[in-house]
Structure 1
Amino acid sequence: MSKPTAIVLAGSRPGSDPLAAAFGTDLKALVSVGGKPMVRWPVDALLDSGRFGQVRVLAQEPERIGAALPAHPDLVVAASGPSIAATLETLLFDGSVDWPLFVTTADHVLLDREMIDEFCDLSEVADIAVGVVERETLMARLPESQRTWIPFRSGAYSGANMFMLSGKKVLPALELWRSVEQDRKKAWSLLWALGPTNFLGAALRLRTIHQTLDAVGERLGAKVEAIDLSDPLAAVDVDKLADHYLVERLLAERTDG
């Protein structure tokens, strides 16, 4: 049985990225964090994990991103599509890509083997698995951290930029994602697109996160699971200057520890 493929999304949003501009570049994935380009951290973690047959880094400017990465037989750097959804849809029909796909982002600097192992082990039964961290877990570890939280009856959750997509059952979800991809409040837009019951159930905290995703899965014809990760640092990415400062501090603590 072939190993899954890991995808690292290293593209840029339309327009100027404030974090990239602050560090004198136009590509956020090349911002230096802890002494090396941001994208290098998750790529190294994925290659070192031994769980993936191939790691694919996708970006609008693959030559520039590739120059910041190590030479490795299991690493491919390629051009992305016009959007995340379009990129993943293309991979879905690419016979050279082994599924399932583990998807993360170039700004997931703190990704490590333990997070990868936990997420992959717990996502095996889902068609679509989404990594999340519960607010109290993160606040206990990093009370100063500012994240975007979605409230449910079981607690508020933030995404961990980790997804597992099992195969062609994910296509309806990607088509839906494409329809709201430019909306900065994507989670609420997705729930609304899936129907008022799902939207109101989440907005009024009438359902747990698992009940909500069960209902979403029924609409999409796929089993959708939230993977509640034990390490709160899984929810920390580098999206703004405050995140950069925080993550550099955490990396220094890892080294000292």
Structure 2
Amino acid sequence: MSAPGCWTAIVLAGQRQGENVFARNHGVQLKALIPVGGRPMVARVIEALRAAPSVGDIIILAQEPDRLATVLPGDSRIRMARSQGGIAQSIRAVAGKDAPFPVLVVTADHALLTAEMIETFLRGSGGDVSAALVDRKVVEAAYPETRRTWLRFSDGDYSGANLFALTGEKAYAALDLWSGVEKDRKKALKLLTSFGPVLAVRALTRTISLDKALAALGKKVGVEARAVRLPFAEAAIDVDKEEDLELVEAILKRR
């Protein structure tokens, strides 16, 4: 159980190339400000973080942080910071400094995020780096219409849940690795093969489990990496495109 308020949350609210069109189609300039259920989706994420007992300070990373400040609640725990060249680089610039460890990383487009999801993830996290995932069976049982990107392993298919835990400075090695992939996604296969032919072949042929793959990758860069499987189908649904937004709106109406 995490001590109350011990985690610093970093909210990734920057905008990638092409997302400004999605935003403008909904009458706003930034993706994080797209209304979901009548409220900017970044405000929904902040609400979930404020309701999570384990979360203390909240740092919002964006290229233009001042444009987000107007929709946020007045709370001394909330601070703004300017993004760097990439996501991993931006996290590295504040993690362990303006954002003291341990750090929880979330995204501003996780409009269905709840305090329960956050606390469940943090209870399951450990080692140097943890990532939340949801089993495909869980997602499709609840929302068979949704289309996700699946990570395929011998023990099943998983979708990322945009929740990451970094417990200390050893996590910088994982961020550096992430930064390299982020700069050139086409080199992802080359990166995988750099970890050794056995691991590469097993990953490509789905003959390695999620936990063993993460453990092997972590060992190569000197970190202990852990996967946290969440039981919430909604944890895998973020707002990346129009059909995601329609699904999230429908889910919120049912709530």
Structures share a fold, TM > 0.5? yes
Q: Does residue 104 in structure 1 map to residue 106 in structure 2?
A: yes
CA RMSD of aligned residues (A): 1.9
Counterparts of 2:186 and 2:147, CA distance in 1:
16
Give, in angstroms, the shift of residue 220 of structure 1.
1.3
- What corresponds to 1:236 in structure 2? 237
Select which of 46, 49, 66 maps to 1:46: 49
Q: Does residue 143 in structure 1 map to residue 155 in structure 2?
A: no
Check whether the contact 2:9–2:99 (CA below 8 A) recurs between aligned residues: no
Counterparts of 1:151 and 1:186, CA distance in 2:
19
After superposition, give the CA deviation of every residue in 1:149-190 in whole Å (9 maximum; x if it has no partner).
Answer: 011000011100000011111111111111111445797675
The DSSP-based 3-state class of the residue aligned with 2:106 is: strand
Check whether the contact 1:131–1:226 (CA below 8 A) recurs between aligned residues: yes
The DSSP-based 3-state class of the residue aligned with 2:55 is: coil
- What corresponds to 2:180 in structure 1? 179
Counterparts of 1:75 and 1:167, CA distance in 2:
21
Counterparts of 1:9 and 1:99, CA distance in 2:
17
Unaligned runs of 5+ in 1: none
Counterparts of 1:77 and 1:232, CA distance in 2:
30
Q: Does residue 202 in structure 1 map to residue 179 in structure 2?
A: no
Amino acid at match of 2:228: I
Amino acid at match of 1:103: V
Check whether the contact 1:177–1:190 (CA below 8 A) recurs between aligned residues: no
Check whether the contact 1:16–1:26 (CA below 8 A) recurs between aligned residues: no
Check whether the contact 2:10–2:99 (CA below 8 A) recurs between aligned residues: no
Amino acid at match of 2:102: P
* Inter-CA distance 245–238: structure 2 relative to 1 (3 Å threshold): same
Which 4+ runs in 1 deviate beyond 6 A? none
Unaligned runs of 5+ in 2: none
Q: How does 1:216-255 map to 2 (within 5 A)?
A: 216-254=217-255
Check whether the contact 1:89–1:174 (CA below 8 A) recurs between aligned residues: yes
Q: Percent identity?
A: 41
